[in-house]
Amino acid sequence: MIGKSVSKNTAFLTSSYVLQKILSFVYFVLVARLIGITDLGKYTFALSFTTLFAVFVDFGLTNALIREGAKEAGNLAKYLRPILSVKALLAVIVYGVVILTAYLLDYPALTINLILLSGIIMVLDSFTLTFWGVLRAQRNLKYESISVVINQTIILLSGTLVLFMRLPIIYLMVPFLLASTFSLLFAIWCLRKNQLWNWQTAFSKTAFWQIATISLPFALISIFSRIYGYIDTVMLSKMQGDASVALYSVAMKVPFALQFIPSALSAAIFPAFSYQYGSDLNQLKLTFERAVKFLMVLALPISLGVAVLAKPIMQLVYGAKYLSSSTPLAILMLGLFFIFLNFPLGALLNGCNKQVTNTVFVGSAMVLNIILNLFLIPVYGYVGAGVAFLLCHCLLFIASLIVAYQLLKFNAPKMFWTFAKILVSALIMAFCLWQWRQSLPVIILIILGAIIYGLSLILLGAIEKDEMLFLKNKILKRNSSI
């Protein structure tokens, strides 16, 4: 049943994230093309700024709820009331800190107003996250998947209206407010429908301190990862200005949009990792190995392909004014491979009581990222921020992989040999794309690249026959273990 649940949940959430990221990317391109580079810098900075603080509202409580709820259903009722009560207090405090920090950093009035509205969105989304966490612990991602698509549809439709009415940039926060309000109300309705809304449960100090102790490592991981994921945008804003933020954000949007793949998979396998760690280590090893191989097969061609085609992709999608973003895009895409694999590695460590180790790794990556940006951004601008991004994710991957091996003793030689075959297949594809990049349209190149990569995988035996049958008979039919 666990295997079927993982596969079904992965299919649900992956499908919804595909649609959501497509809609999100289309909307971001519209915004980038219609509001100009400087305004785009202010807009993306405000969203990134509040995203840095969002983790302090949740403080790892949702991940702790998912892990403990996956172990025993009774834990959901036990912990939900304390979590919501504490988050209400944290939301007020953190929102106040956001406002105070924005004023202390002496940002222009327009930027501060954007931050104020973005902060409200931050609070709404944090509570929604916890409500979906209840259903994730029950291995039910169907409703969240539906909400993800509707949320982004609301943003696209209302945001497009704002853009074509040529309203001031401050109105671009309204679509997010509408979408976040919908998601919150829909999540509450889903909990009531599934009889998981039990606010009448008495507040328990004992339960609060238990969940607080469990959540602390998750909180630190989230804080560190959020800082090293978004601090580059804040540092660019102060060191280089809004234009650099816009050019970097345009490049970052591509790898960010593609993270739905490992994110959806990790959301589905995290409860499974927690369950299998205490019941079936062999199945845990199999789940991990298949997840890693699946992501390697997807990540390498995407990383190398987009890196090679960075300039024509920028020209096609954003226009000539954003061509200078092609260099950071190529660098960021090389880091996408490590991002993909860091998702299941992080989920494995968190699900197997190694969250403290994961916290140390992510904290170290955060510190390194800040140090690298301090040296690289003043000299190389947004290109330097891209290099720091790549190096940090690479080192985080290496450290996490070593611990994962010590934990599971997976077949490392086989995994390395598989990686080598996949890498060669991706390099063959990348070489062909490089040779043809100036003579063929981007769409044709993408199609040809996919064909060449697929044939290379088969010829090199990177995907075995039983795995091909597994993909055909199980994943496509959504009824197997992963």
pLDDT score for 444: 92
pLDDT score for 10: 56
Residue 477 pLDDT class (50, 70, 90 cuts)? very low
Residue 459 pLDDT class (50, 70, 90 cuts)? confident
Q: Rounded distance, CA 416 to CA 247, Å?
A: 36
Lowest mean pLDDT segment, chosen from 53-57, 116-120, 207-211: 207-211
Q: Within a domain: residue 83? A: yes
Q: Rounded distance, CA 276 to CA 290, Å?
A: 15
Alpha-carbon torsion, ordered 364, 366, 369, 373, to 10 deg? -130
pLDDT score for 84: 80
CB 83 within 8 A of CB 61: yes
Q: Within a domain: residue 103? A: yes
Neighbours of 278 (CB within 10 A): 12
Q: Rounded distance, CA 296 to CA 421, Å?
A: 11
Q: Within a domain: residue 481? A: no
pLDDT score for 211: 67
Give the count of domains, the chain: 1
Q: Six-digit token pair at 26?
A: 């289309």
User: pLDDT: is 79 or 344 the higher one?
Assistant: 344
pLDDT score for 470: 45
Q: What percent of the chain has pLDDT above 90? A: 27
Q: What percent of the chain has pLDDT above 70? A: 83
Q: Rounded distance, CA 413 to CA 398, Å?
A: 16
Q: Within a domain: residue 240? A: yes
What radius of gyration do the chain's Cα atoms show? 22
What are the angstrom distances between the C-alpha of 269 and each of 70, 83, 228, 362, 481? 11, 23, 24, 20, 11
Neighbours of 390 (CB within 10 A): 21
Lowest mean pLDDT segment, chosen from 146-150, 210-214, 228-232: 210-214
Q: Rounded distance, CA 99 to CA 388, Å?
A: 28
pLDDT score for 74: 60
Residue 166's domain spans which residues?
A: 2-475
pLDDT score for 63: 75
Q: Provide the residue type at 56 as one letter.
A: F
What's the whole-number mean pLDDT along residues 372-388?
90
pLDDT score for 323: 86
Spell out the residues 6+ positions from residue 361 whose beta carbon is closer than 8 angstroms to its own.
396, 399, 400, 403
Residue 431 pLDDT class (50, 70, 90 cuts)? very high
User: pLDDT: is 419 or 224 the higher one?
Assistant: 419
Which one, of 158, 152, 151, 212, lies nearest residue 183 by Cα? Answer: 151
Q: Within a domain: residue 274? A: yes
- When the pLDDT of each residue in the chain is averaged and rounded to a whole number, the result is 81
Residue 474 pLDDT class (50, 70, 90 cuts)? very low
pTM > 0.75: yes or no: no
Q: What DSSP element (H or E) covers 41?
A: helix 37-58
Q: Rounded distance, CA 120 to CA 437, Å?
A: 44
Q: Does the pLDDT of residue 226 top 50, yes or no?
A: yes
DSSP code per residue over 90-143: HHHHHHHHHHHHHHHTT--HHHHHHHHHHHHHHHHHHHHHHHHHHHHHTT--HH
Q: Within a domain: residue 407? A: yes
Q: Within a domain: residue 480? A: no
CB 13 within 8 A of CB 264: yes
198: left (phi over 0), alpha (psi -120 to 50) or beta: beta
What's the whole-number mean pLDDT along residues 469-482?
42
Q: Within a domain: residue 292? A: yes
pLDDT score for 93: 92
Q: Rounded distance, CA 264 to CA 21, Å?
A: 12
| Per-residue pLDDT reduced to its tens digit, 144-188 | 888 888 999 999 999 999 998 989 989 999 999 999 999 999 988
| Per-residue pLDDT reduced to its tens digit, 45-102 | 888 888 888 888 887 777 777 776 666 656 666 677 777 888 888 899 999 999 998 8
